[in-house]
Structure 1
């Protein structure tokens, strides 16, 4: 990340934390949206839901599918695809979004997925003081359990940015820090075919795949998902939870 981009990111973090302290919520990941403009394109088709093989044999090993930054407007379509293919996945959710969309947290739990902690407002946690780190993690735990999910036992630091203080706080809250081994870069606006290829070209036993259900580009992730699942199973991998 360039110095200019990092400074802008840090500015966004500061604004987000000031808003959090004041009881407000600010999206530090994307520009403000006009009221009523937040709508998902319907990208799931009947052809996408024709799962073919739904058996989940682990001939070559397990691959964990994980989704960050939700729940958001494309989460219902991600859930629909996962349900058709009988896949259980791990959702690393933002606390402020969990508080805003508790129905989607409950839907994730009802389908057998894991709902885990991804901080309240997605800052660079290693740049924060101890009180701010505690607030980011603790308020997210509270939002997730208030929505009806079990208390998270996994924590994924935003940007993978962590420190001894962050890791220690996660441990105090009963969480293990987990990152990823395959980054699809789906948030960059990649085409569905490129997202799928990044997974299928790199998958090995024990891979943890990073995708996003909570960014503006998540429509492409939804479109790539059937190809990812079918391709992994054709190669002898089973889809698994991040703790399997």
Structure 2
């Protein structure tokens, strides 16, 4: 017959000892977590540098901002802003010391005049893209005049020079639009490379659409005012680097 061990030698006290050790371990873990949290609050990690909106990863630091015109000029143009991704576009352009032309909507200029002011301050061109993006050819002469004239006024009120170019939404124009544009001293312009970035294309596909079709004098259609413009921001460094590697300089559109 087995004789029971005295309590002092461990029988019934072993579960209590294990419980005390577990409680001590939990307390040490809690203390470590509290110290880590205190350190995080006092010394939070540095924020990653990059666009201040939803544009995506940090803007790269190019090895060079040289903009040689060995093969000719090309024009980067952005439609439908200013909007949430405009700051991201501006940050990339600033990093590469590149200039672009922004075809803005009057209704968005009224809502975000500070973004138009930022475009002008960085040396970009601000032009007319109508008030709220209708098919201008479907409107009366008075309606077309209002669409264009009100946008002119909004751009000037935001601190930019009066536009001298107009890009009709959808490229949709006609005799009435021509007449009203000319009355406001606006020259109609289109594009030669449509990236279809507003359709939600991947950044690499947007970049490749530009680089596959670029020629001297190309006018590249991009968007800073669509829901998918975050991909445009992500594509932009590769577009600029690819153009410059091929000897094309990025330039403003001529009025």
Q: TM-score range by the shorter chain?
A: 0.7 to 0.9
One of 214, 217, 221 as aligned partner of 2:228: 217
User: 1:138 is matched with which residue?
Assistant: 149
Structure ID, larger Rg: 2
Partner of 2:99: 88
Cα displacement string for residues 61-92 of structure 1 (whole angstroms, at most 9, x for unaligned residues): 01100000000000001000000000010000
CA 1:112–1:44: 2 relative to 1, 3 Å: farther
63, 76, 82: which one aligns with 1:71: 82
- Tell me if the contact between 1:62 and 1:237 (Cα under 8 Å) persists in the aligned partners: yes
What does 1:87-166 correspond to in 2, within 5 Å? 87-166=98-177
In structure 2, C-alpha distance between the alignment counterparts of 1:134 and 1:225, rounded to whole Å: 34
Following the alignment from structure 2 to structure 1, what is the Cα–Cα distance between the partners of residues 54 and 124? 24
Unaligned runs of 5+ in 1: 1-38
Q: Which residue does 2:54 correspond to in 1? A: 41
Match of residue 55 from structure 1: 66
Provide the secondary structure at the position in 1 that maps to 2:108: helix
TM-score, normalization by structure 2: 0.78
Give the 3-state SS of the residue equivalent to 2:250 in structure 1. strand
In the alignment, what sits opposite 2:33?
A: none
Task: Report the secondary structure of 2:126's partner residue.
Answer: strand
Deviations 1:28-60 (A, max 9, x none): xxxxxxxxxxx9424141xx4211221111000
1:152, 1:198 → 2: CA distance?
Answer: 28
Following superposition, which runs of at least 4 residues in structure 1 exceed 3 angstroms of deviation? Answer: none
Q: Give the helix-richer structure, 1 or 2.
A: 2
Any gaps of 5 or more consecutive residues in structure 2? 1-51
Equivalent residues, number: 204
Residue 231 of structure 1 corresponds to 242
Structure-1-length-normalised TM-score? 0.82
Determine the structure 2 residue equivalent to 1:194. Answer: 205
